[in-house]
Structure 1
Amino acid sequence: MDMLLPSLSLSYPKVAGKWQNCRKFLGTNRVAKMCAFTPSNSKKKTVWIWTENKQVMTAAVERGWNTFIFPSNRQDLALEWSSIAVIYPLFVEEGRQIDHEHKSVAAFAEISSPQQLEQFQISEEQADKVVVNLLDWQVIPAENIVADFQGTQTTVLVVSKTQSEAQVFLEALEHGLGGVVMKVEDVGAILELKGYFDRRRDVDSLLNLTKAIISHIQVTGMGDRVCVDICSLMRPGEGLLVGSFARGLFLVHSECLESNYISSRPFRVNAGPVHAYVAVPGGKTSYLSELKSGKEVIVVDQRGMQRTAIVGRVKVETRPLILVEAKVESENESYSILLQNAETVGLVSPLHGEGHQRTTIPVTSLKVGDEVLLLLQGGARHTGIEIKEFIVEK
């Protein structure tokens, strides 16, 4: 097998030539970055594509994934695709993957049993890169691999056939593996994986929360309010972004704090009435009434750090409500939210330098002049997506 492709540069000069032109056009550093592995303990994940479908190739390249794996007998396909797109082709050999210069890029192993996984080893010269095909099983082996390679410089990519399968590998034991090889012939799988990364990219950026001053408080009547129970524990300062209008979402604190009234429930946010908007991944909003088990929401803290959480349960119950309005000093706009009138429901306060910080203000203790945190954004929404159009909400 080592002599099967003695020199891709000689056997397929156009492929090698196109790669050299790619280096000249993009520059050595950019090419290196495009094809480099990412350490498994980094947030950024590596994606390679294994396909013989031209539409899948096009969709992947358009989304920034340029590394493609080919069987050793499909050099003709690599040549054809290299003539229409800037790609980095790799070829499967026995126990490894090689590039166009016949250099070993990664070890390759197919594992179908716990015994094979336990015995799995890679040579020292390939110790920083490995592609694993776990065949018909995934979750526990993925966790074992994450545990085995933690603290090393080895990047492990696992072959996946669907977005949901890839998600298991990318999130195993919280940190996940270094990346995935999407072995698919369906364009939809590429689009779904890109959507997954787009939603997770929210976590890499801080939200710009704005200080607002409470301007009006009014006890109203009864309404159907929503408690959102997520599948994660929240810490002091964390909650959900909720508001009557999408243009201004209040940071509503979780029930993680100890209280004289009820036991701490660090998985819960008493979020507001059914009509209210709540922030969800991808820069979108959802009505609280639309949330259900399995959906995702954005959890945010006082600094604006955000993370994605899965909804485990939603409770809708009729409770007394209180109207809260706030204004930002630099503008005349008024923002409002309705919340259950209860001591365990609170809004998050801004940070003020070092020292003791007030994390939350219960709505029952709110006063005109108190400061709370808002997320300001465009007001017009269509199915939760921000759009540019004239709109008046009051």
Structure 2
Amino acid sequence: MAVSSSLGSAKALAPVRASLLAPQSQGAVVASASSRRASVRMRASAASPAELNKTVWVWTESRQVMTAAVERGWTTFLFGSKDLGRDWSSTARIDPLFIDGPAIFDGDNQKVAVISQVSSPRELELVQPDNVEAENIVIDFRGGWQVIPAENIVAAFQGCRGTVLAVSTNSTEAQVFLEALEQGLDGVVLKVDDMDDIIKLKDYFDRRNEAKSQLSLTKATVSKVEAVGMGDRVCVDLCSIMQPGEGLLVGSYARGMFLVHSECLETSYIASRPFRVNAGPVHAYVTVPGGKTSYLSELGSGKEVIVVNQNGLWRTAIVGRVKIESRPLILIEAKDNSGDDTYSIFLQNAETVALITPDTGSGGRTAIPVTSLKVGDEVLVRKQGGARHTGIEIQEFIVEK
């Protein structure tokens, strides 16, 4: 179904898009244009960075799904029946939108979007900025193909004022649309009757939001460097390229995690492997999303870790492969500036393995190979709670040595 109907209220919809970005601001749909702009400004500061760029509408006939969505801050719902919309609006603070043929209307009967079904390349060509008058478009992809059409839509609509959403029948589909060509579509219409899809999509947004934050890293002074013999060490190969100054947080104790550099630097004897961190032995902890840790031995293809740079900025990355091999190890201990806490890590004794140093701002070295490390050198560590249960930080008495 090609988009052919005009959208009389299109010019008023740019504020609508902004108000939908933060879930709490959905009520702005039925407000005046000036009040919308004001409410958007007030709410934007409280909204999470990732969700400021993504719209989520929920299309369901399940009250459980509605409850789960509202609890997570998504309050715009699509209805095929006005009676159902009014019934739910009387029991929960939601903003109902009503589907009537190829158009979507708000509670004041103002058209806010159009729906376009796409099941062929020809129909996809019709959904282009020059061919539609509506600023807000909901695309219902049919026929099995989703990723490539979504990428084409992202490319075609980049820079346009309107909002482009895709109908998703589960949380996995929604992530595909939100990540197409890295930037993703503007949002999704989650058409589900299982509240697990609401929970999973919210968890996905939480991980994205979390990755916008900055970790606090601390300087620690190396107090011991000692070759200790053979052990089973883990190379973590990611599905992402790391830059100089990036690595993984690894440590023998969860209370102090060392920032271990990737093998992205060129050397005379071995090619750069910017996807790899030679991370340490099987018993060591590594930091993963959600404020958790995992044993290096537990990592495998498809798991997620966090990549951290010299300034504490971090992002998530997918593990592509893990290699465990027996190699000579070196023990490194370091004390924080107070001198009260000592942290330790074992690493392979090789020139390609390095710890990241504090950023001096003077163009100094980014990392020190463990083979060159000496007492008195400064490295970066992440201080955190030591007690862990299945990787989750807990409050309990613990002694680690």
Deviation at 1:125, TM superposition (A): 9.0
Structure 2 counterpart of 1:274, which letter?
A: V
Most deviating of 120-129 and 181-190: 120-129
Matched, 1:240 2:248: yes
Q: Could you tell me which residue of structure 2 aligns to residue 62 of structure 1?
A: 71
1:368 paired with 2:381, answer no
Matched, 1:155 2:153: no
The structure 2 residue matched to 1:44, chosen from 35, 49, 53, is 53
Unaligned runs of 5+ residues in structure 1 are: 1-17
1:1-394 correspondence runs (5 A): 29-30=38-39, 44-71=53-80, 74-121=81-128, 127-135=134-142, 136-353=144-361, 355-394=362-401
1:13 corresponding residue in structure 2: none
CA distance in 1, matches of 2:392, 2:163: 36
8 Å CA contact 1:244, 1:276 repeated in 2: yes
Distance 1:279 1:172, change over 3 A: same
**Partners of 2:393 and 2:131 in 1: CA distance:** 51
Aligned residues between the structures: 369
- Offset, 1:258: 0.4
The Cα RMSD (Å) is 2.6
Corresponding residue number in structure 1 for 2:8: none
| Mapped partners of 2:201, 2:64: distance in 1 | 15
The TM-score with structure 2 as length reference comes to 0.86
CA 160–192 in structure 1, closer or farther in 2 if over 3 Å, else same = same
| 2:129 and 2:160 in contact (8 A); partners too | no
Distance 1:150 1:27 in 2: 24
Segment drifting more, 151-160 vs 265-274: 151-160
Does structure 2 conserve the Cα–Cα contact (< 8 Å) formed by 1:22 and 1:86? no
> 1:1-38 CA deviation, whole Å, 9 max, x = no partner?
xxxxxxxxxxxxxxxxx999999xx9984478779xx9
What is the alpha-carbon distance in structure 2 between the residues aligned to residue 309 and residue 333 of structure 1? 30
Q: 2:315 and 2:364 mapped to 1: Cα distance?
A: 22
Query: How far off is 1:42 after superposition?
Result: 8.2
Deviation digits for residues 156-204 of structure 1, max 9, x if unmatched?
Answer: 1111111111111111111111111110000111111111111122221
Matched position secondary structure for 1:364: coil
The letter for the 2-side match of 1:149 is: F
1:331: Cα distance to partner?
4.6
Q: Distance in 1 between matches of 2:41 and 2:223?
A: 55
Identity %: 63
Partner AA of 2:366 in structure 1: T
How far did residue 357 of structure 1 move? Answer: 2.4
Cα contact 1:128–1:154 (8 A) shared by 2? yes
Q: CA deviation at 1:154?
A: 2.5
